[in-house]
Structure 1
Amino acid sequence: MNTIMKQLDGTILDVKKHMERNNISNLEIPSRIPGWLEEVEKTKEKAQNISSTRNGCFNLKMRQQVGRNAFKITEEMESFIDENNKITWSDAQRCLGKVNSKIASSFAPLDGDAQNHFKSRERTFKDVLGFLQQDHQEPSDSPMWNGRCGENHYVQVEKTAKDKKMFDYVVKVVIGQQINMFSIQQAVAEYMGQSLTETSQTARIDRLRITFGNLPEVEANSDSTLVRVDVMVELEAHNFFWQITGVSKQHDMELNQIGSEIVRRCVFLPLAIKLIAKTLQFHEVFAWRDTFQRLKKKNLDENVQEVIKISYNYIKTEEEKVIFLLCGLFPDNFNIPIQELTRYAWGLRVLSEVSTLGEARDKTKTCVQNLKNANLLMDRDYIGCVKMHDLVLAFVLSRVSKGDHEPWNVGDSKCPNLSLLRLMDEDKSLKFSQGFDGRMENLEVVAYEKIQYLLLLRSLGCSTKLRTLILHQCLLMFDCSAIGELLNLEVLSFAHCGIAKLPSTIGKIEVKECDNLVNLFPTNPMSLLGRLEELHVSE
């Protein structure tokens, strides 16, 4: 029995390592594995109880009973090993929306700011869960729709719904201020583990309907409940403000009076209070007075944007301001890769006193950290990414996009001063003409994501100042020889683009510190490429 148990322990270790790898990579785990592990642990416990039995070597009847039990347990362990050998691991990509967590026994408590400062909202949190549980006492296939209810509460509702396994699927879709139906459909499909190849909106709707019909059961006319999340109550808002500033209300009567007026001008909105409190932290009373005067001149609806503007003006360096504004290139609730910000900043030459990309990464990370400390950026679930609150994003867009804007017809645009161009998701409303970017001779950064227009690369040779070229998921199964004409290119990233081999013209560029590229290049890459500082390739 002990010999077989050692073999079983090795099998258990292998299974757990396989599970850990798949969980990290979001890959499928055979449905039998969790139950297999539970049953194995019970059998091991029985075996350990037998091993610890001490009844004396002369108690023959007891020894016979122990031997019979050990033989039976040995057979069980052998059957577990045999069963595991027959379990097939597909290692397929797991559907993002699939809920795999075990059933929890109670509500998940609010944490962080929500628990310490937003006590008035705990009732709302429980109300939302109550509505969700009314019709879903058992695990359900029905979808959960979440309106705009404040990020902390949405995160807690989502976590609790998953822990309690109230739903089989949870699909998170960001609607945003500008509704993009294409992006919404794409997000839903990705969470359901599907790929939308249809190009028309009607066909994509039909494909999603079929997908939902095969997975969750959807009731088209089901009732919906609106739960309103109000701003903080006044006392709670004041305490939140004073805790962040670190100023005692009794320490300075003038600061106390000004701070109380500032909180009222922030309309008790947590984001505004947090931003302005962080900005005023460690500042003298004259800065508080100046801030109040600026807020006093605005109406209450305008004050949130004014608070963000004040925080922006307090940013210490121009580099931080540029990194902050670059975050506005990404959509609502987007995981913004810091690496991407580094590549943009490098191409635009906005980072001072850096001579290598390594130094540029450190400088960008420092800027991002300072912006997070000022609450203008937030952490994300993914390592190496940050997020911008939608109200902050609205401020950025309003700052860099003054005036009214018509739909951009790229074919008619001449932008000789444009230095950065980023296009994503192949928006069909954009009309491209041959050589459109040849009219943009000052382009320094070009980033295309999920774009498949064939002409986009062929005219890039005109952009002689281009330093950063990013091509992600563009399926470049065509002539990309124009890349070799970009003699000033220093950063080249093409991930998931389907390039089997680079053209011979790439030999005009130089790559430094890159390995494992022999199969990609026609000859030795280290002797080919001229100015390139970074090359990022991913299958």
Structure 2
Amino acid sequence: MAAIVAILGIVVTPVTEAGKALVVTIKRQASYLLCYRSNVDDLNNEVENLLRTRNDVQRKVDADRRNGQVITNDVQKWLKKVENVKEDANRFNDQVKESISCFNLRSRYCLGKEAKKKMDDVCRLQTEVKSINASYPPPPPTIESLPARGFMPLESTEFSMNRVMDALKDGSINMIGVYGMGGVGKTTLMKQVAKKVKSEELFHEVIMVTLTQKLELKTIQGEIAEKLGLKLDVESQDVRAMKLSERLTHELKSKKILLIFDNLWERLELDDVGIPLEWNDKGCKIAFTTRSVEICNDMDSQEKVPVNVLSKADAWNLFKEKAGDAIDSFELNVVAKEVVKECGGLPLAIITLGMALQDKDKKVWDDALLQLQRSNPTNIEGMDQKVFSSLEMSYNYLESKEAQVCFLFCCLFPEGYSVSENEMMKYGIGEGLFKDVNTLEEVSCRVHMLFDKLKASCLLLEGDRSNSVKMHDVVRDVAVSIASRAEHGFLVKAKVGLKEWPEIKNVQKCKRISLADNEICRLPNQIECPRLLTLLLDSNHFLKEIPNGFFQGMNSLKVLDLCDMDISMLPPSLECLKNLRMLWLDRCPRLKDVTLIGRLKKLEILCLQKTGICELKEKMGELENLKLLDLMETNSLEMIAPNVISRMTRLEELRMGNSFGKWEVMGNGDARQASLAEMASLSRLTVLYIHVENVECLAQDIPGPWKNLKEFCICVGRDYTDGKAERSIKIKNSPCPNAKWVEELFNRTYELELMHCEGLDNLMQSHELGFNSLEILHIEKCGEMEHVISLEEEPLQNVFEHLNKLSLEELMNLKTIYWANFQPVSSKT
């Protein structure tokens, strides 16, 4: 009271009637002041708490949006309300500041009451957000969402589209063939037809399946089933067909379905796929695209619809759409019309060349026209020479040699194959394709950039896998034609049904050979290929043996891919490959001894996933230039000699998930196995996937490159499972870890999983562990846990600030999520 009296500047007189009245006034005014101060302070505190909650919600919304989730209207409205509260609180605080200058206690009292009311609104918002779902998964993609790059309403295609639509409406027609040369726009046309029939409700469902040149019935069945929500988890083709037929028969009871097969190269037996016999009787139809009218006849099509090249007017309009309005200028108009004429009306060529010449000057256009007029491409059945010329021009106008080589390397893979950035990175490092890059991460970024450039130039398409690309089949034909020229030295015969090594003219001049995905069962004893840099023999599943001298004439070889083969040993002539930089042996389950690889001193990339090797002997430690060692899922690996890993001092990526896990405890003088202490030598390591069975390693302070790791998955205990996030730690059947190296990774992990951890009563007991990066937390069957977090000091403000998934299972003694035994220090008024 004395302090309040002093603040008010009032002198208390002796106890008289006037004095008593004065005391009552003082108390009333003091009450007004206390109410005002308390409520205003409380309001500001609650608003700060609400804004922190808002920030957490906004981070989750942003993360969900990046992951393709659909953001709910409720959370958006809530965020808007919070923004309004923030603005209202700012205006209110301005009023409070004004009230300080005029000493009106009743006015302050009113402001205090208003603050109390606003605080109730803030608290309601804090409660409301707990019941709001921020997002939900997007609906499955529909036919309406199919992209149709390069589509424009054109008179040339209107005729074909109308004929297809008329056939779909004709009850007497159930099989429709759409044919035309490669790149003429058949796929684009059928995507538009699919959208149109859905919008006009001619069919309840439209299923479009893209085929490869060699029919893969299991793949076709899988795609149809997936779009019907059916999971075909059996291997037998006949059983899959039966299940698919049963599902389609059930669907036909209430739905009319249009099934579109895109890019058919041979007769497709519908019974083998699982198309029921009553398909046509229910008003359902099948349409397909093909390059040959003969396929239409083979499929007994009642309607055969040709798709022809564009008229001059349509070709010009499409070219203008891609090249820009500059082609109407006096300077470019004449040459642009000649360029369009050379494209021969093929939409793919027009689109590709238009984008390649966009924003280029007159001299570039003149040169493009000259080359188009003079080119003489290799003949390919069904392809016009003009098509090759125009597509090759897009290749020639790529801004960098790296992009050109990257493009050509994509044709080494089978038709329709999705080439991942990771695969191209390994080939690029092996051949040294990319300049001015020093690390695997830098190469990965370069490949990503080149893929983006090639997709933007319409030379590559989005692949079927994450971070991958694939080639349109026409573009691939052009790429093979270019790559086969002497200066490039490619020989590409991937997935063409070879049963033996082919006869190769001028094999001594070959630089790159791809015989991948064939049925070769025998190799020559020796091949003289002194200039050969890259050899792909992967996926020749029948090949059980490589002759001892096979590699003797390949001294220049830098890249060797022997994945998915049935070989049991490596030939002695492998030692001749002194310049080899990339060796890929994934999925060779009978291969057990790889000691010979230790003599390939220039090796930088070594991939041994899912091989049958049992040990890495001391000789492997001589691979001192190795940057990537991949032993993922090599679950037969039981022994790694000491000091093998530590001598690979240039390692940047070490991938050993679901592989060797018997790391010895550091300090054993008679060590027979590798220890985690060897990581201390790997100063360049940025990616680490390992399994640790010996739980004693968690109690040791092991030096290592832990702070440098940008991607890791550490699994401790008996089992190994890959993490969902790129930084994850999973500990099972182990005591609570307390080593500094584990804590270092804890603070940087995105995903943490703890199961059956004895002695773990809470996740952290100090500020040293903040889990500031954690996004996913799963704790299961930790019976002694009472609190997820328990602190004996001041509570943390930012703990779990990025957490968006918390899973707690079978924690029988759990009391609270977050508990702090903290006593605030009292302060004087």
Class of the TM-score when normalised by the shorter of the 2 chains: 0.5 to 0.7
Asked if structure 1 preserves the Cα contact closer than 8 Å seen for 2:176 and 2:305, the reply is no
Structure 2 residue 449 is the aligned partner of structure 1 residue 331 = no
> What secondary structure sits across from 2:579 in the alignment?
coil
**Which residue of 1 is the match for residue 258 of structure 2?**
none
Between the aligned partners of 1:501 and 1:136, the Cα distance in structure 2 is 67
Structure 2 residue 351 is the aligned partner of structure 1 residue 274 = yes
TM-score, structure 2 as length reference: 0.43
Bigger helix fraction: 1
Residue of structure 1 aligned with 2:144, choices 97, 108, 119: 108
Structure 2 residue 583 is the aligned partner of structure 1 residue 469 = yes
Measured at CA, do residues 150 and 136 of structure 1 come closer, stay the same or move farther in structure 2, by a change above 3 Å?
A: same
> What secondary structure sits across from 1:492 in the alignment?
strand
> What secondary structure sits across from 1:216 in the alignment?
helix
Cα deviation digits, residues 433-491 of structure 1 (max 9, x gap): 33312332221111233222335566433322211112333324432333333322211
Tell me how far 1:344 sits from its aligned partner: 0.9
Name the aligned partner's letter for residue 483 of structure 2: V
Measured at CA, do residues 449 and 143 of structure 1 come closer, stay the same or move farther in structure 2, by a change above 3 Å?
A: farther
Measured at CA, do residues 397 and 522 of structure 1 come closer, stay the same or move farther in structure 2, by a change above 3 Å?
A: same
Between the aligned partners of 1:123 and 1:494, the Cα distance in structure 2 is 55
Name the aligned partner's letter for residue 325 of structure 1: L
**Which residue of 1 is the match for residue 322 of structure 2?**
244
**Which residue of 1 is the match for residue 186 of structure 2?**
150
Structure 2 residue 621 is the aligned partner of structure 1 residue 507 = yes
Between the aligned partners of 1:210 and 1:446, the Cα distance in structure 2 is 38
Cα deviation digits, residues 329-381 of structure 1 (max 9, x gap): 11222211122111111111122212211222222223333333333223334
Measured at CA, do residues 229 and 240 of structure 1 come closer, stay the same or move farther in structure 2, by a change above 3 Å?
A: same
Give the alignment of 1:177-256 within 5 angstroms. Answer: 184=216, 187=219, 208-209=237-238, 211-213=240-242, 215-216=244-245, 218-219=270-271, 223-224=300-301, 226-252=304-330, 254-256=331-333
Measured at CA, do residues 538 and 492 of structure 1 come closer, stay the same or move farther in structure 2, by a change above 3 Å?
A: farther
Between the aligned partners of 1:350 and 1:114, the Cα distance in structure 2 is 32
Name the aligned partner's letter for residue 338 of structure 2: E
Tell me how far 1:421 sits from its aligned partner: 0.8
Tell me how far 1:171 sits from its aligned partner: 5.5
Between the aligned partners of 1:329 and 1:110, the Cα distance in structure 2 is 28
Residue of structure 1 aligned with 2:470, choices 387, 393, 398: 387
Residue of structure 1 aligned with 2:529, choices 394, 410, 415: 415
Between the aligned partners of 1:333 and 1:118, the Cα distance in structure 2 is 29
Tell me how far 1:270 sits from its aligned partner: 1.6
Name the aligned partner's letter for residue 462 of structure 1: C
Between the aligned partners of 1:136 and 1:494, the Cα distance in structure 2 is 57
Measured at CA, do residues 297 and 214 of structure 1 come closer, stay the same or move farther in structure 2, by a change above 3 Å?
A: same
Give the alignment of 1:1-20 within 5 angstroms. Answer: none
Name the aligned partner's letter for residue 319 of structure 2: F
Between the aligned partners of 1:345 and 1:419, the Cα distance in structure 2 is 12
Residue of structure 1 aligned with 2:646, choices 510, 527, 533: 527
> What secondary structure sits across from 1:413 in the alignment?
coil
Between the aligned partners of 1:190 and 1:463, the Cα distance in structure 2 is 42
Asked if structure 1 preserves the Cα contact closer than 8 Å seen for 2:607 and 2:631, the reply is no
Name the aligned partner's letter for residue 457 of structure 2: A
Measured at CA, do residues 190 and 298 of structure 1 come closer, stay the same or move farther in structure 2, by a change above 3 Å?
A: same
Between the aligned partners of 1:266 and 1:384, the Cα distance in structure 2 is 31
Name the aligned partner's letter for residue 451 of structure 1: M
Name the aligned partner's letter for residue 144 of structure 2: A
Between the aligned partners of 2:475 and 2:440, the Cα distance in structure 1 is 28
Give the alignment of 1:18-417 within 5 angstroms. Answer: 108=144, 111-116=147-152, 120-121=156-157, 124=160, 150-153=186-189, 166=205, 172-175=210-213, 184=216, 187=219, 208-209=237-238, 211-213=240-242, 215-216=244-245, 218-219=270-271, 223-224=300-301, 226-252=304-330, 254-297=331-374, 301-402=384-485, 406-407=502-503, 410-411=523-524, 412-417=526-531
> What secondary structure sits across from 1:327 in the alignment?
helix
Asked if structure 1 preserves the Cα contact closer than 8 Å seen for 2:604 and 2:627, the reply is no
Between the aligned partners of 1:154 and 1:495, the Cα distance in structure 2 is 41
Cα deviation digits, residues 207-243 of structure 1 (max 9, x gap): 6456434543844797435443322333222122122
> What secondary structure sits across from 2:474 in the alignment?
helix
Identity level (%): 27
Measured at CA, do residues 538 and 222 of structure 1 come closer, stay the same or move farther in structure 2, by a change above 3 Å?
A: farther
**Which residue of 1 is the match for residue 126 of structure 2?**
none
Name the aligned partner's letter for residue 242 of structure 1: K
Aligned residue pairs, count: 418
Measured at CA, do residues 298 and 215 of structure 1 come closer, stay the same or move farther in structure 2, by a change above 3 Å?
A: same
> What secondary structure sits across from 1:425 in the alignment?
coil
Name the aligned partner's letter for residue 329 of structure 2: H
Name the aligned partner's letter for residue 388 of structure 1: M
Asked if structure 1 preserves the Cα contact closer than 8 Å seen for 2:565 and 2:588, the reply is yes
**Which residue of 2 is the match for residue 38 of structure 1?**
none
Shifted more, 278-287 versus 347-356: the winner is 278-287
Asked if structure 2 preserves the Cα contact closer than 8 Å seen for 1:434 and 1:455, the reply is no
Asked if structure 2 preserves the Cα contact closer than 8 Å seen for 1:422 and 1:448, the reply is yes
